[in-house]
Structure 1
Amino acid sequence: MSESQAQGAPARTALVLYGSETGNAQEVAEELGALAERLHFVTHVAEMNSVKAELLKSFTFTVFVVSTTGQGEIPANARSFWRSLLLKKLPPTFLSGVNYVSFGLGDSSYPKFNWAARKLHKRLLQLGANEIYPRGEANAQHPEGLEGTFIPWITDFRSHLLDKYPLPEGLYPIPDDVQLPPKWVLRLQEEATASETPTMQTSVSEQIAAFAEYPGLTRLDHDVRPIPDALTATLVENRRVTPRTHWQDVRQISLTVPDAVTYAPGDMVCITPKNFDEDVQALIDMMGWGEMADKLVSLAPGEKLQAAGELHAPPIPGLEKYAKLTLRALLMDYIDIRAIPRRSFFSAIAHYTSNEMHKERLLEFTNPEYLDEFWDYTSRPRRSILEVLHEFHSVKIPWQHVTSVFPVFRGRQFSIASGGELKRTSDGGAKFELLIAIVKYQTVIKRIREGVCTRYLSVLRPGSTLQVQLQRGGLSSSVNQLVGPTVLIGPGTGVAPLRSMLWEKAAFVKAYREEHPDARPPIGPTILLYGGRNRAADFFFETEWQELSDLIDLQVFTAFSRDQRQKIYVQDIIRRNFGLFFRLLHDMNGSVYICGSSGRMPQAVREALIEAFEHGGQADGPQLARRGAEEYLISMEKSGRYKQETW
């Protein structure tokens, strides 16, 4: 956004900025942008990093939507904006005249719940900005998810905007049943058709030919999407590591890239899923897009964007580089047709039906008064967009509006399980090993639910190519922490990043012994606390723990909840060994890393560790009262010795 454009903005303007790691904050920002448009604000929605802080006062008000990532950190696409606010030279009047409101997305199972939004809010006030409405905070642990908090908040926020910025006489809010013009539309490429030109670039054809030894590979198996900052990875292993009789299908997936990419324990691979042919064809048939499905299309700004003289960032980064894009390819590679729909989706599709009963029902789902019905229909049964369109069969969406109506795929993050000597291939490339639970379950509507990304990964065969993004995780540790005393707590697939850390420790010991064959490696003791249901079914990497114990000072404790009448969990192991955990974490200043499912587990572990600090000291040694134990754990967090990565 240029300074001249901001200065020349009309008097009634709104800026909605987001910092998003997985796409949730961006979706919330888009919904807030639509709200502002309906109240006749000329509205811009953008990543925080794309805007200079000096321009904020050019707008009537600014909305900040930010999620919290890692250990209370700002998302990557908002980090440079955040750093610009931290400059010491900024005066306390730097943002004087800026009106703002903020909304945070977080998870209360993390100690630093909504930390990013709170930090941003505090800094904006320090620089003289004026908060025009109380900050909202969404909680992923809410029974109704993020929207359980967001919907009541945005409803009240709308009323506040109308009071604070009343519309001129004779001008009224744009009703929900009136469609806002799409910002981006699909257009037919008249100069060529898919049947007249090659469907792949030469480089892609060569890539596919390189895997000719794997017969029968399909479009699903070869990812040719130009995803920004992605690595082209080859799948070399997709092995189930739980018995066929076990309720959960867990896979060990190995990916390789030809370059010697470096990564550290706690880093993640981000994988963007694809749709299945049969699902895409079902949507094409329902919408009547058959004649258009295989013609070449391109994404273009809508009339409103063109008239504004400023192009917003397109909804799909890198799409302009896609070779020979057809509507079918767009649907398969980018559009999340199996997502659980948000309220904004129902509002959008209500404009594309002539069936008054269907339209009335769709609009009811957007009404805050019918929140329970909305949740009963969508979130609780996990009903997908494809299923909604099947039930509201009168809805016929123009193919030109696909990117304005449907959500696009967001990458899913998976912790890397490999480390040390497991990170390299024999020819000098990099290897990523992942431990992934295939999401498959049943809800009240009795149909099998499947995770969009894990369903995609579950069918990939050796030789498949994927576009993956390497991302820094929240468990990064210093060299001193890596070789120092460590407690690793990882039930189930949460053990993946901890395995990476253990192999890094082993690599350090091997390297040290090569240089100092007669000396003891300066590495502290490590405790691995592993939890599962059954030792025989889900004790992942069991044989490796003994191998690693021979290299490093590793002690493994297990808690298998279903192997005995009374259930045992990882927090119970801590309570049985207060003294051990007190010595390692308090007396030896060790670090603790917690990974796995969010919710009750990390909170239960946190409480057990506080009890260990309270009761684990020697009778003649230091004793901590409850408050002192809590303060000690908080001090560990502040110094980076207590880290959590849950999902």
Structure 2
Amino acid sequence: MINRKLVRIVLVLFYKNILVLSYLFLFSFILFSFLLLVYINTFICNMDIITREKILLLYGSEYGTSYDCCRNILYELCTNFDVHFFCLNDINLMKFYNYENIIIIVSTTGYGCPTHNMSKFWINLYKCNNIFHEDIYFHLFGLGDSSYDNYNIVAKKLKRKLISLGGNIVNYSLGNYQHSSMHFTNFNTWKNKVYSFLKKKYYNFEINNTIPQIYNITNLSDYDKINNDKHMSEFLPTYDNIKKCNEKNKNKIEKKYDDFNVNEYFTKSLKLNKFEVIKNKRLTDVTYFQDVRYIELATSIEIFNLSSLITIHPTLDKDKTKSVLNLLKINYNEYIIINQPNKNATCTMSTYIPIGKKIKVLDLFVYFLDLNKIVTPFFFIYLSERTNSDLHKKKFLQLGNTNDISDYFSYVYQYKRSYYDIFYDFYSYINIDIPFLLNTLPNIMNRNYSILNDSNKYRFLKNLNLYNLYHFYLNPYYSNFLYYLKIYFCNNMKTLTNFFLYIMCNYTQISTYKYINILKNKIKPNQVNNVIELLICLYQTEINPNKKHIGLCSNYLINSIEGSSFIYATIENSLLFQNKNIWNLNYRIVYISTGAAFSSLLAVIRQRFHIYNSKKKEQKNENLINSKIKNISENDLLFLGFRNKLNNFYFEQELQNYLHFIHIFIAFSQQPDDNFLYYNHEFLKNIENNNPNLNDNFCSTTDHNNISNKNLFNKSVSEMKEFLKDKKKIYVTDLISMLQNIIYDLLIKKNTIFLVAGKSRPFSQNLFKLLANIMKEKEPNKTIEEINLFLKKKIDKFEIIFESWY
């Protein structure tokens, strides 16, 4: 019995132990399985980030609409794809072969021109003969306005060119600002097709509709100081920061990153050139509604092509930015470090944002984030997540609804409301911080202006100090040469036994070294101080009696201060540079321009005049009659349209120098009397009356009458005035109509180039139609379609060049 009981006890204990061990084993297995799943999931997530498909996202944008459309796609795809986001000028065509999917959004600007930030790409594309593979998929969207000529012509030409290179365009559409929903309906439809294609091609991903997290931010504020300061305590940030770290760790982080230095960052990291404002002169009266400035910028750039553009990086107004940041309860004096990319989003982009630099919050906004830009709808979707008010949440969602843009159009677009305006209106109902703004605001985009200089117009700095007075009269290369001669002379003088000469030599050498130190200090930052000339008109649109929309860059330049303002910019070629025959005197140039747009053409006039004078001097020196030198019957023609002579006749005195080289006709649209001026005739008549001994540069009135007798324009000056007398207002197009016979002759000649500068609508459009009508009148057998095709071919060949804008 005892043995049985013992056996039973042993068996019971055994079974219990087995049960416990089983439970332990099961628990261990479950725990192991859970840890294994976590590991596998983490590994898969990491692999997902590493192996995400690459997408190339490109834009060509003048005023930011295409850029905003691309940003919208970037934010929605960055959590699922490795998105490479660039403007078209920043990408090499050969890089296309590295991607399966290329998304391109382009705008048409001016009179059917590509935007400035895709101009280099445009030229390279048309030179390209490479064939794209079938497995490179292009998704192309164009932005344009059907009320303009050449509606969406850039997107259409881009499509044709890509197809000719074997490009496989799987999604293509056009957006029209004149549509009742603007471009948004077509854009959304096209975008959804792109996403559907990507889902079928790869996997069924979820579109990111939450606030984008492209950048991470580390806050380097002195929190002890903030906590002790009642005024500053309200600025405590809501995002992850270094407050959790001790002071030692904080110091380590600060030492790890360099401070943001404006000059170093723009010149070294962004490869921009530094320009100093040395002249800012208002050309119009202070009472006049237009603020037009003549600005001179000193630069170290020695050589650039004639008729170039200066691409300027503007900045925001500091006081206005401080004001709005205060309203948003953001401490603009704190320092942060921006890190990119966020682990949940993978993207590569060309951005001006300083990554890994210790930067002041105010500097981040002023130099890089465009609060002055008109708000895009998707920003309101993100804003709806940062309000506690149900009423305002609903309002933001309505403003962000691109399927029904009535609220957005009436509140934002119609009144050109910027991010500044939105924050002023809603600051008390939203809770936003620096990471939110950094990840949702657009970057400041560069702006382009025409340079007035010709090759003979570069001048050196003139400031009232010894170095610059000397430097102004001597080319720096020559002064450098004199310096070496002087040192060499002084070294030789040391061998002289004459004590007096030896003392003089030492004194001269000491003085020379002092002067050289001044030279070194001045020349090091700016090797050669050339001066670039600009004509800037403040862009402003009156929204209502209490509000004006002011252009960021023009306002930035006009408010620059002589001697203390620095501008960061680059120089690039303009469309004018595409036709090298502009500098050929065997070609005749017809200039047509209105207002301050004349600055686009002035450099060409100056340079052709310089070439003309140089050849004329050669001709005199050789006592030869050179048939290549133009006579007055082959002079260029300049047609200008201004509002009135008092405020708008820019460069009036300078144009007098060109009257023997170019015929100048001017219309003053807002001037009731003397609203037409044939400048050559008027000026020569005044000179003859006041000074019978005319300068050799000008033909006499008698010569002018002889030329008139030859019927240069088939009209005398009196007949021209008779033609225009019944018009209440005279515009530059009226002058073209007045001389339509010679205009027609020049249009059909191969050695004539038309250069046009002015707004796309109505000026450029009306001018194109006028040229077509002139040809139709002279060639009635041709259809208007044939004539338009003829003119457009001349545009494609850069025989007619429009320097226009919206």
Question: Among residues 436, 440, 453, which one is paired with 1:418 in the alignment?
Answer: 453
Alignment-mate amino acid for residue 304 of structure 2: T
2:59 touches 2:104 (CA, 8 Å); kept in 1? yes
Alignment-mate amino acid for residue 55 of structure 1: N
Between 14-23 and 387-396, the greater mean CA deviation after superposition: 14-23
Which whole-Å deviations, capped at 9, do the CAs of 1:144-175 have from their partners, x for residues lacking one?
9xxx643111222344457656699x988558
Alignment-mate amino acid for residue 251 of structure 1: R
**Residue 764 of structure 2 aligns with which residue?**
602
Provide the C-alpha distance between the structure 1 equivalents of 2:128 and 2:457, rounded to a whole number of angstroms: 41
1:575 touches 1:611 (CA, 8 Å); kept in 2? no
Q: SS state of the match for residue 568, structure 2?
A: strand
**Residue 431 of structure 2 aligns with which residue?**
396
**Residue 569 of structure 2 aligns with which residue?**
468
1:227 touches 1:467 (CA, 8 Å); kept in 2? no
**Residue 351 of structure 2 aligns with which residue?**
315
1:420 touches 1:505 (CA, 8 Å); kept in 2? no
Kindly report which structure 2 residues correspond to 1:56-205, keeping only aligned pairs within 5 A, or say none.
Answer: 56-57=99-100, 61-68=101-108, 72=113, 83=124, 88=129, 90=131, 94-106=132-144, 113-138=151-176, 142=178, 149-160=182-193, 174=207, 176=209, 179-189=210-220, 190-191=250-251
**Residue 629 of structure 2 aligns with which residue?**
522
Question: Among residues 270, 280, 286, which one is paired with 1:238 in the alignment?
Answer: 280
Q: SS state of the match for residue 560, structure 2?
A: coil
Tell me how far 1:614 sits from its aligned partner.
3.4
Tell me how far 1:462 sits from its aligned partner.
1.0
**Residue 655 of structure 2 aligns with which residue?**
545
Alignment-mate amino acid for residue 389 of structure 1: F
Kindly indicate whether residue 651 of structure 2 is the aligned counterpart of residue 555 of structure 1.
Answer: no
2:260 touches 2:359 (CA, 8 Å); kept in 1? no
Kindly indicate whether residue 764 of structure 2 is the aligned counterpart of residue 590 of structure 1.
Answer: no
RMSD after superposition = 3.7
**Residue 605 of structure 2 aligns with which residue?**
502
1:109 touches 1:600 (CA, 8 Å); kept in 2? no
1:487 touches 1:527 (CA, 8 Å); kept in 2? yes
Alignment-mate amino acid for residue 798 of structure 2: G
Tell me how far 1:14 sits from its aligned partner.
4.9
Question: Among residues 62, 81, 85, which one is paired with 1:46 in the alignment?
Answer: 85
Q: SS state of the match for residue 803, structure 2?
A: strand
**Residue 211 of structure 1 aligns with which residue?**
none
Provide the C-alpha distance between the structure 2 equivalents of 1:431 and 1:443, rounded to a whole number of angstroms: 37
1:192 touches 1:296 (CA, 8 Å); kept in 2? no
Tell me how far 1:81 sits from its aligned partner.
9.7
Tell me how far 1:362 sits from its aligned partner.
0.9
Question: Among residues 318, 337, 358, which one is paired with 2:371 in the alignment?
Answer: 337
**Residue 347 of structure 1 aligns with which residue?**
381
2:451 touches 2:533 (CA, 8 Å); kept in 1? yes
Q: SS state of the match for residue 558, structure 1?
A: strand
Question: Among residues 420, 443, 460, which one is paired with 2:543 in the alignment?
Answer: 443
**Residue 701 of structure 2 aligns with which residue?**
none
**Residue 555 of structure 2 aligns with which residue?**
455
1:67 touches 1:116 (CA, 8 Å); kept in 2? yes
Change in Cα spacing, 1:72 to 1:597, as seen in structure 2 (3 Å) is closer
Alignment-mate amino acid for residue 16 of structure 1: L
Change in Cα spacing, 1:567 to 1:402, as seen in structure 2 (3 Å) is same
Kindly indicate whether residue 68 of structure 2 is the aligned counterpart of residue 27 of structure 1.
Answer: yes
Provide the C-alpha distance between the structure 1 equivalents of 2:312 and 2:389, rounded to a whole number of angstroms: 39
**Residue 414 of structure 2 aligns with which residue?**
380
Tell me how far 1:515 sits from its aligned partner.
2.4
Q: SS state of the match for residue 315, structure 2?
A: coil
**Residue 360 of structure 2 aligns with which residue?**
326
Alignment-mate amino acid for residue 419 of structure 1: D
**Residue 729 of structure 2 aligns with which residue?**
567
Q: SS state of the match for residue 475, structure 1?
A: helix
Q: SS state of the match for residue 645, structure 1?
A: strand
Provide the C-alpha distance between the structure 1 equivalents of 2:96 and 2:126, rounded to a whole number of angstroms: 8
Kindly indicate whether residue 440 of structure 2 is the aligned counterpart of residue 405 of structure 1.
Answer: yes
2:339 touches 2:356 (CA, 8 Å); kept in 1? no
Change in Cα spacing, 1:422 to 1:83, as seen in structure 2 (3 Å) is closer
Provide the C-alpha distance between the structure 2 equivalents of 1:202 and 1:163, rounded to a whole number of angstroms: 44
Provide the C-alpha distance between the structure 2 equivalents of 1:15 and 1:630, rounded to a whole number of angstroms: 36
1:346 touches 1:366 (CA, 8 Å); kept in 2? yes
Provide the C-alpha distance between the structure 2 equivalents of 1:203 and 1:107, rounded to a whole number of angstroms: 39
**Residue 643 of structure 1 aligns with which residue?**
801
Provide the C-alpha distance between the structure 1 equivalents of 2:165 and 2:599, rounded to a whole number of angstroms: 42
Question: Among residues 279, 291, 315, which one is paired with 1:249 in the alignment?
Answer: 291
Provide the C-alpha distance between the structure 2 equivalents of 1:444 and 1:539, rounded to a whole number of angstroms: 29
2:616 touches 2:629 (CA, 8 Å); kept in 1? no
Which whole-Å deviations, capped at 9, do the CAs of 1:48-81 have from their partners, x for residues lacking one?
5167222333xxx542223457874586668569
Which whole-Å deviations, capped at 9, do the CAs of 1:453-481 have from their partners, x for residues lacking one?
22222221211211121121112254433
Tell me how far 1:100 sits from its aligned partner.
3.0
Alignment-mate amino acid for residue 397 of structure 2: L
**Residue 338 of structure 2 aligns with which residue?**
299
1:72 touches 1:114 (CA, 8 Å); kept in 2? no
Alignment-mate amino acid for residue 522 of structure 1: I
Change in Cα spacing, 1:410 to 1:225, as seen in structure 2 (3 Å) is farther
Q: Can you give the 5+ residue segments of structure 2 that lack an aligned partner in the other structure?
A: 1-46, 221-249, 461-471, 476-527, 673-726
Provide the C-alpha distance between the structure 2 equivalents of 1:599 and 1:560, rounded to a whole number of angstroms: 19
Larger Rg, first or second structure (1 or 2): 2
Tell me how far 1:369 sits from its aligned partner.
3.7
Q: SS state of the match for residue 614, structure 2?
A: helix
**Residue 306 of structure 2 aligns with which residue?**
264
Provide the C-alpha distance between the structure 1 equivalents of 2:781 and 2:546, rounded to a whole number of angstroms: 54
The percent identity for this pair of structures is 19
Provide the C-alpha distance between the structure 2 equivalents of 1:7 and 1:164, rounded to a whole number of angstroms: 21
Provide the C-alpha distance between the structure 2 equivalents of 1:581 and 1:274, rounded to a whole number of angstroms: 44
Tell me how far 1:605 sits from its aligned partner.
0.7
Provide the C-alpha distance between the structure 2 equivalents of 1:354 and 1:485, rounded to a whole number of angstroms: 67
Provide the C-alpha distance between the structure 2 equivalents of 1:74 and 1:285, rounded to a whole number of angstroms: 36
Between 400-409 and 379-388, the greater mean CA deviation after superposition: 400-409
Change in Cα spacing, 1:226 to 1:377, as seen in structure 2 (3 Å) is farther
**Residue 58 of structure 2 aligns with which residue?**
17
Tell me how far 1:600 sits from its aligned partner.
1.1
Change in Cα spacing, 1:376 to 1:97, as seen in structure 2 (3 Å) is same
Q: SS state of the match for residue 325, structure 2?
A: helix
2:338 touches 2:356 (CA, 8 Å); kept in 1? no
Provide the C-alpha distance between the structure 1 equivalents of 2:641 and 2:656, rounded to a whole number of angstroms: 17
Change in Cα spacing, 1:85 to 1:533, as seen in structure 2 (3 Å) is closer
1:242 touches 1:538 (CA, 8 Å); kept in 2? yes
Tell me how far 1:315 sits from its aligned partner.
3.3
**Residue 775 of structure 2 aligns with which residue?**
613
Change in Cα spacing, 1:645 to 1:200, as seen in structure 2 (3 Å) is same
Which whole-Å deviations, capped at 9, do the CAs of 1:340-376 have from their partners, x for residues lacking one?
1111221222222222211211111111243122011
Change in Cα spacing, 1:556 to 1:108, as seen in structure 2 (3 Å) is farther
Higher percent of residues as helix:
2
Q: Number of paired residues? A: 593
Question: Among residues 760, 783, 791, which one is paired with 1:633 in the alignment?
Answer: 791
Which whole-Å deviations, capped at 9, do the CAs of 1:157-210 have from their partners, x for residues lacking one?
344457656699x9885584xx2441113322443899xx99886987xxxxxx
Change in Cα spacing, 1:110 to 1:502, as seen in structure 2 (3 Å) is farther
